[in-house]
Structure 1
Amino acid sequence: MHTVAVLALDGVVGFDLATPVEVFTRARLPGGRAAYQVRVCSAGGDVDAGAFTLRAPWGLETLAEADTIVVPGVADPLAPVPDEILDALRSAAGQGTRIASICVGAFVLAATGLLDGLRATTHWLGTRELARRYPDVHVDPDVLYIDNGQLLTSAGAAAGLDLCLHIVRRDHGSAVAADAARLSVMPLERDGGQAQFIVHEPPAPDGATLEPLLRWMEENAGRELTLDGIAARARLSTRTLNRRFREQTGTTPLQWLHRARIRRAQYLLETTAHSVDRIAAQVGFGSPTAFRDRFKRLIGTSPHAYRRAFQGPEARRALNGSQEAGGVLPSDQGRTPLTS
């Protein structure tokens, strides 16, 4: 039987630990046989899991015997990892063992050097730090998980479910994985990637000289703004404006503006029953198609899929009421089409 070893490090996140235990323990082959044998292991002694303390029944020797190792996240991903843990993971990888991380467990894998030269992901709050600390790892902040074959990484929290279900499907096919997904009350495939959960704050460091201009751009994002118009507002040439934006925000004026508009669109999709076309106009896109394309590029899913996932109950009731009344939502009267 395929053995999955779940590594409980000190400070382990309880959710990350429980996810592979539940998914792999409940997976059943045709006929009802268990698909996996799951063993929770540690370096020995009590493991601090924050709200509780646990004692794993298995030691590190289990890593050498496992077919798959899962490394959950820990409360402090920047804490040093004991050498015995790193050596055990490197040794297992050298034997061909499959190793997967959940959430910030990617920091543990990166510390072994096993992710060097590979794509990897982690919780969106940690992607920048992972890339900074481990420049040889190609960090992708927008996806739910990445499968490199022997090494797999997933984004934060619930993305561990996506990864575990992916592993079940890879091992035993879609039918077994679909049953496991139903038991977890999860779709086998989710729309979009991690990008839809990221708070896309337009970057502006404290004390930036452009800060008043950025505030003005955000307040007027629904208007037709051009590079020349933004430069005139800042009393700068377009060349100087571009250079200062690069220095202070790491992006261009129009890219920053697109992010501000999409952030506003996310808020309207979550809180109103306005049609997607109306929201496109409200946030400054002259073309609904351009809005949908930009939204998908930045958020990783469509505006409709985002609304289904994140719309609040009051807005959902209003939307359902409008659809029952005939499916026509009010539009902005007299609004001049806006372009980005």
Structure 2
Amino acid sequence: MKHLSILVPEGAILGAIEGPHKLFSEVNDLLVNMGRDPLFKVQLVGLSPQTRLSKGLFTVHPELTVKDNFKTDLVVIPAVHGNLEEAIEINRPFLPWIIAQYKAGAEIASLCLGAFLLASTGLLHGKKCATHWLGANEFRRMFPDVTLVPEKIITDEQGIYSSGGAYSYLNLILYIIEKHAGRDIAILCSKVFEIEIDRGSQSPFIMFNGQKEHEDEPIRQAQLFIEKNFSDRITVDQLASMFAMGRRNLERRFKKATSNTVVEYIQRVKIEAAKMSLESSRENVNEVMYKVGYSDTKAFRTTFKKLTGLSPIQYRNKYHRAATA
């Protein structure tokens, strides 16, 4: 039987504790109903025997604490909320325990913004990681040595897993269940909890808000210019001249400040505007394409799918108000 430790950090989101607990427990119930032995021993692990969440609205009583002498096979780090730097400091006593369990052979899985706690251990150095797209810029700032893949829902590297944002963590739990209990059990769990299995991208949900939390004022002004004039043809040379910089200097500073090249930033702003039109307007795809400054149909569709994971038609069918009514 595999021992699963679901952490109960200070400031954790209750659903990110209860959700994996329910799914892993359901695996045991399904196996028992099939006449098979349960697979997981699922226990909550805290820093103390009692943890208050949501400003005292909920209280969780972990069965174990990190001071107890036990070995686990999988550590699940749930999402936390609020000020993430403060969350890391409050929960710092978890970090050496997580590192020790990993070195002893345990797998580690972070859910959503739990990636910030996982990254604080140093175990993600040089590895890929997913998290909620809303926290992407802050994650890059705090952990530049980790390769963030914000479009991914699941990463799996050397016994360390991470998941995308919010309830997409359920897809990671199903993925782990499939690895340990088999495809048939994972499919049964997906049906019981009505979770769409094998979903690998959170790109359709990402709303691009240009990274402006930096100190490079000319680059911030360049970003604002792009966002106000995205329907026009904007070139790197034009921006370099406008802000009295050499092209290479602009490119270097823009990438450092925004985590995007100038061209990538222009594309993201255009596609974000296209998404909004496809969600709410009656314009057809070609009209939307011209409106955001594209004249090449193939280039527009290719860029749109690269950034959202869907074609413009698929995106409209999925998110347009009339289509979803």
Q: Alpha-carbon deviation of 1:157?
A: 1.4
Alignment partner for residue 40 of structure 2, among 36, 40, 47?
A: 36
CA contact (8 A) 1:77 1:105 kept: no
Alignment partner for residue 69 of structure 1, among 38, 54, 75?
A: 75
TM-score by length of 2: 0.82
Distance 1:226 1:238, change over 3 A: farther
Count of aligned positions: 312
Distance 2:110 2:152 in 1: 14
Q: Alpha-carbon deviation of 1:296?
A: 2.0
> Greater CA deviation, 263-272 or 33-42?
33-42
CA contact (8 A) 1:15 1:157 kept: no
CA contact (8 A) 1:221 1:284 kept: yes
> Greater CA deviation, 37-46 or 77-86?
77-86
Q: Alpha-carbon deviation of 1:60?
A: 2.7
Alignment partner for residue 105 of structure 1, among 114, 129, 144?
A: 114
Q: Alpha-carbon deviation of 1:209?
A: 4.9
SS of 2:288 mapped into structure 1: helix
Q: Alpha-carbon deviation of 1:256?
A: 3.0
Residue 194 of structure 1 pairs with residue 194 of structure 2: no
Q: Unaligned 5+ residue runs, structure 1?
A: 318-340
Q: Unaligned 5+ residue runs, structure 2?
A: none
Residue 26 (structure 1) aligns with: 26
Structure with greater helix percent? 2
Alignment partner for residue 51 of structure 2, among 30, 47, 50?
A: 47
Q: Alpha-carbon deviation of 1:180?
A: 0.8
Residue 178 (structure 2) aligns with: 169
Percent identity between the aligned chains? 26
Distance 2:145 2:220 in 1: 33
SS of 1:158 mapped into structure 2: helix
Q: Alpha-carbon deviation of 1:206?
A: 8.8
Distance 1:310 1:62 in 2: 49
Alignment partner for residue 288 of structure 1, among 297, 305, 320?
A: 297
Query: How does 1:210-249 map onto structure 2 within 5 Å?
Result: 217-223=226-232, 225=233, 227=235, 231=238, 236=242, 240=246, 243-244=249-250, 247=253
CA contact (8 A) 1:81 1:108 kept: no
Query: How does 1:102-181 map onto structure 2 within 5 Å?
Result: 102-181=111-190
Q: CA RMSD in A?
A: 3.1
Distance 2:320 2:152 in 1: 21
CA contact (8 A) 1:64 1:91 kept: no
CA contact (8 A) 2:177 2:185 kept: yes
SS of 2:85 mapped into structure 1: coil
